[in-house]
Amino acid sequence: MNFLYRRIVIAVVGVVAAAYVFSVVVVTGKDLGVSDELYATVRDDYMRPHLMQSWGLFAKGIVNSDKTIVMRAQVQTPEGNVVTTGWVDIGEYEWQGILHNPTPARTARTTYKIAGDMQIAVRKVPTVVVPAISKDLLSDRPLSSGDYLKTLLDQPQLNSTSRSSVAAFVNLDNVATRLTTLYAYRFWNQPVVAVQWSVVISPVPRFGDRDTGAREVPTTVAASGWRKAPLFDAATISAWTTS
């Protein structure tokens, strides 16, 4: 290649590489002094979704609690009766898939993550909304928990921040209901009529108490009422009952 052209290529590629490195510095330095405005611009305009990076794992807000969802269901027996099952700790069930397994499957910590997200979401929602979570939603018409909670968004005392918090919680509420419904199919392999779930957070013993195992009392951060089971197609149910 011609001497001049080579230098031009080097300059162009160098500038692109430098711009990329600068962008990486900005998005990874969000909590290290980079301004929110610059971070948001670089993240939204240049990095998301393919080049986005974040390396705060095990650093910010280090995980220090067992988080789980406990659930029960109303299932239909072959005779047509609806029976209520006992409570099941899904976290415990998932742990059985991890125990003595060097390469656990990706499903293994699903509930842990949903419960963690739920813990954060509940903290942000206004207290006026929280009682609604525990109401039973068993109407025959297709009224989901999300629909119910969305009606709360119209309440005048909610400002825009509160509304977005409620919307985020509604999303997770739907996810929890759908996930527990599929777990109900997996556990009892019967048509599921309704589910009820609770998100339970149990801090691990403090470092100084690790020998005695003394733990704080577990906290239920969200407990739903009965939720009518959402409908799933046969392929979805089959994936949960056969795999």
Partner 1 sequence: MSTRTEDLSSSTPPSGPTTPPSALDDRATAGPGGGPLAALRRRRQAHVPLRHRIREAGGILRFLEVWVSGERHGRYGFATIRIGLGAVLTGYLIVNLADAPRVWGPGSAWMGNLRQDNLYGWPFNLAQKAAESSIGFSLWYLATLACGIALILGWRTRILIPVLYVLFTGLISLNPVVTDNGDLTCRLLLLYLAFADASGVWSLDARRRARARPSSNPTIARYLKVLGEIGTIVHNFVLVVVVINLCLIYWTAGLLKLQEPLWREGTAVYYPLAIRLYQPWPALSQFAWGTDFGVHLVTYGSLTIQLLFPILILSRYTRWLALMAAIGLHLGIAVLMGLASFSGFMALMDAILISSTSYLWLEGKVLVAAKKVRAAVLPGGPEQQDPEQQDPEQQGAVADRAGPARKPAQDKVSVGKDGSGE
Interacting span for partner 1 (CB under 8 A) from 75-83, 129-137, 157-165, 179-187 = 179-187
Nearer to partner 1, 2 or 127 (CB): 2
Nearer to partner 1, 28 or 76 (CB): 28
Least separation, in Å, of the C-beta of 78 and partner 1?
A: 23
- 83-87-93-95 Cα dihedral, nearest 10 degrees: 170
Least separation, in Å, of the C-beta of 81 and partner 1?
A: 26
Binders in 198-227 for partner 1, by CB under 8 A = 204-205, 207, 210
Binders in 42-81 for partner 1, by CB under 8 A = 48-66
Q: How many CA atoms, within 13 angstroms, populate the side-chain half-sphere of residue 118?
A: 29
Distance of CA 18 to CAs 15, 23, 44, 49, 140, Å?
Answer: 5, 9, 19, 20, 60
Which H or E element spans position 82?
strand 82-84
Using DSSP, state whether 66 is helix, strand or coil: strand
Burial status of residue 70 (CB atoms within 10 A of its CB: 0-12, 13-18, 19 or more): buried
175 near partner 1, rule: CB under 8 A: yes
Using DSSP, state whether 205 is helix, strand or coil: coil
Nearer to partner 1, 54 or 77 (CB): 54
16-21 contacts at long range (C-beta below 8 A, 24 or more positions apart): 20/51
Binders in 97-136 for partner 1, by CB under 8 A = 98-110, 112-114
Nearer to partner 1, 8 or 83 (CB): 8
Nearer to partner 1, 126 or 203 (CB): 203
Binders in 17-36 for partner 1, by CB under 8 A = 17, 20-21, 24-25, 28-29, 31-32
Residues in binding contact with partner 1, number by CB under 8 A: 78
Distance of CA 34 to CAs 31, 131, 133, Å?
Answer: 7, 39, 38
Binders in 131-160 for partner 1, by CB under 8 A = none
Q: How many CA atoms, within 13 angstroms, populate the side-chain half-sphere of residue 187?
A: 24
Among 13, 40, 82, 128, binds partner 1 (CB under 8 A): 13
Q: 215 and 200 in contact (C-beta within 8 Å)?
A: no
Nearer to partner 1, 138 or 175 (CB): 175
